[in-house]
Amino acid sequence: MLAITSFAVMVWANRYHREYSVFVKTIAPLLAGIGMAAVTALILINFNLMMDTEDFSMIWIMPAIILGSGLIGLIWGEILIRRNTMNSAHITGEVPEPELQPTTPV
């Protein structure tokens, strides 16, 4: 999740915050995302060593549950966007946030 978040921050910063430097909006999130993806790959490759077992269910099913839940989240987000609900408009940034009007004391 941290790797995906890093890549999402990079896209968001490049889309909405052009005032930041290239390092802040592209290079730093890209390096963080690549590093987190590498850590995730190492964890999945060496999962049997971390669990200290050769049991099939522990080695393959547990990581599949974690990766599957992320996939379900991506699919659910796509469903919300395609339904064109008010929530999906806020997710995609199509609806500007309402500005709060200052109130005067009575």
- Give residue 45's pLDDT band: very low, low, confident or very high (50, 70, 90): confident
CB 80 within 8 A of CB 72: no
Would you kindly state where each structural domain of the chain is located, as residue ranges?
A: 1-45, 53-93
Q: Is the pLDDT of residue 42 over 70?
A: yes
Of 28-37, 52-61, 67-76, where does mean pLDDT reach its minimum? Answer: 52-61
Please report the pLDDT score of residue 28 as a whole number: 95
pTM of this prediction? 0.61
Calculate what percentage of the chain has a pLDDT beyond 90. Answer: 25
Nearest to 71 by CA among 81, 82, 63: 63
Q: For the chain, where are the alpha helices, taking DSSP H only?
A: 2-16, 22, 28-45, 47-51, 56, 62-83, 86-92
